[in-house]
Structure 1
Amino acid sequence: MAAFFEQLWESIFIPGPTPTLLIATNATFACLQVLLAVLLFATYSIHFLVLSALCGGLWAAINWFARELKEHQQQEEEKARRAQAAVPLASSEDSETEVEGAASTASLSNVRPVLNAVSASNEVEPVEERGELKHRIPAEAEASSQGTKSSASTEDEWEKVSDNENDKDK
């Protein structure tokens, strides 16, 4: 019994449904169904009947999902085995020049689809060169010798814009 709980604890950290986890899940749902049945017969409340139906649906859904996940994992393992069998392993005696030769083009035809599917673009897009940042100097600052970068406030600029708009409206 202690070994079961130890395996159950370890199965929490393993991805996917493990047999120990499925056994514990099914045992828990079975106990819950028995408890709901006892409460239904003790109280004759329809609530326990509804809870039992919900529990049964959840139980079936969890078992269905675990089966589907197991089938998917088996299909992925089969695809991986087929992909490994399709790509011949190069021995350490091979060199790059042998790959370029005509004798190895037949083996390359098996490798190209796999490489095309896996490889990503190694090209780097060139970065646009941009000019230097230039500080805007307001007209008043150019006229006065004491103008600083922050001498013109945003309010002054908005006043200029609104004055220009008023001039256009006239």
Structure 2
Amino acid sequence: MATFFEELWNSVFTPGTTPTLLVATNASFGALQFLLLILLLATYSVHFLVLSVLSASLWYAINWFARELQIEQAKSATKEEQRGNREKSTDPGSDTETEMPVPEMTAKSRTATQHSTSSHLQPDPALESDNLRRRRSLGDHSSSGYVSTDSEWEKVSEGENKQ
């Protein structure tokens, strides 16, 4: 019994569902349903019937989610296994995997690539100043590069001295 509670405590900190957590959940919902049945028979109140239906729905939903989670974990484990098998499979005659040859770049294509990438990396000055103007007009000083000056701090300290 003590190991069950240790496993239950550890399963709280384990991502996903564990068998111990599912057993505890099902036992708790079973006890709750039993208690609601006893209260329904003792009071004949429709409230306990409604609570029992809500509890049963939640119980079913939790078990359904746990099953779906286990199915997805099994699928991802199979995919990982298949991926591992593909990476391990190599040509029987060699110990290394086959590498694809890299085509040589000519000087002309290299410069064309450099110009196209550098133009994408450089911000357009007209758009940058327009964005800065919009931010300042909206009163956003946090990202506009606004820096306070010492004279502003002097004004604050003068105001404190007068009080």
**TM class, shorter-chain normalised?**
0.5 to 0.7
Give the drift of 1:84.
Answer: 1.2
Higher relative CO (Cα under 8 Å, sequence separation at least 6) belongs to 1
Are residue 71 (structure 1) and residue 66 (structure 2) matched?
no
Aligned to 1:22: 22
Question: RMSD of the alignment, in Å?
Answer: 2.6
Change (3 A) 1:55 1:129: closer
Q: How many positions carry a matched residue from both structures?
A: 107
Change (3 A) 1:48 1:129: closer
Distance in structure 1 (CA, Å) of the matches to 2:32 and 2:85: 48
Unaligned runs of 5+ in 1: 102-122, 134-170
Aligned to 1:87: 87
Change (3 A) 1:80 1:94: closer
TM-score (norm 2): 0.58
TM alignment of 1:9-158, pairs within 5 A: 9-88=9-88, 94=96, 99=99, 125-128=120-123, 130=125
Give the drift of 1:88.
Answer: 3.0
Letter in 2 for 1:76: S
Provide the secondary structure at the position in 1 that maps to 2:15: coil
Deviation per CA, 1:123-168, whole angstroms, max 9, x where unpaired? 784223749x9xxxxxxxxxxxxxxxxxxxxxxxxxxxxxxxxxxx
Letter in 1 for 2:71: E
Deviation per CA, 1:87-115, whole angstroms, max 9, x where unpaired? 2378xx759xx7357xxxxxxxxxxxxxx
Provide the secondary structure at the position in 2 that maps to 1:99: coil
TM-score (norm 1): 0.56
TM alignment of 1:2-13, pairs within 5 A: 2-13=2-13
Distance in structure 1 (CA, Å) of the matches to 2:36 and 2:84: 51
Give percent identity, aligned residues only. Answer: 48
Deviation per CA, 1:20-69, whole angstroms, max 9, x where unpaired? 00000000000000000000011000000010011111101100110000
Distance in structure 2 (CA, Å) of the matches to 1:57 and 1:100: 56
Distance in structure 1 (CA, Å) of the matches to 2:45 and 2:57: 19
Task: Answer with 1 or 2: which has the greater Rg.
Answer: 1
